[in-house]
Amino acid sequence: MRHLTFDLSDSTDGTITLEAMASTRESAGHAAVMAEVDVVLAWANTEFGERKGPVEDGHVWDHELLIQHEADGWITVTLTFSATPEFADAFLAVFAS
C-alpha cells in the first residue's frame, strides 16, 4: 500500500476499528487510491465475505467508504472497517507494512 495506511483502535466491547484516509488531487493519484481500496475490499470479500455485516450483530466485519470531493480539487477517501480480532489479525498479516 502506497496511499492507504491503516490505524487500529480497540473498543471496550471487543470491536476493532481499522481506518485509513488519503487525500489526493483528482488528476494526481485518486485512481491509485481507489485501486488500493479495491484490493483491500476484494481481499475482505474473498476471505470473509459470507461473514460481512454489523459486528454488534455477530458478524466478523463491516466497512464504510466515504469519498469527499473538496472545492479546491482535492478528493479525500476514508475507508473504515469495524471488525472482530479474527478479521483484524488476518488483515494485519496481509496488509501491515
With cell 470473509, the residue in question is 48
Q: What is the pTM of this model?
A: 0.92
Q: Model confidence at 97, in pLDDT bands (50, 70, 90)?
A: low
Alpha-carbon torsion (68, 71, 75, 76), positive or negative:
negative
Q: Model confidence at 42, in pLDDT bands (50, 70, 90)?
A: very high
Q: Model confidence at 72, in pLDDT bands (50, 70, 90)?
A: confident
Is residue 58 within 8 A of residue 50, CB to CB? The reply is no
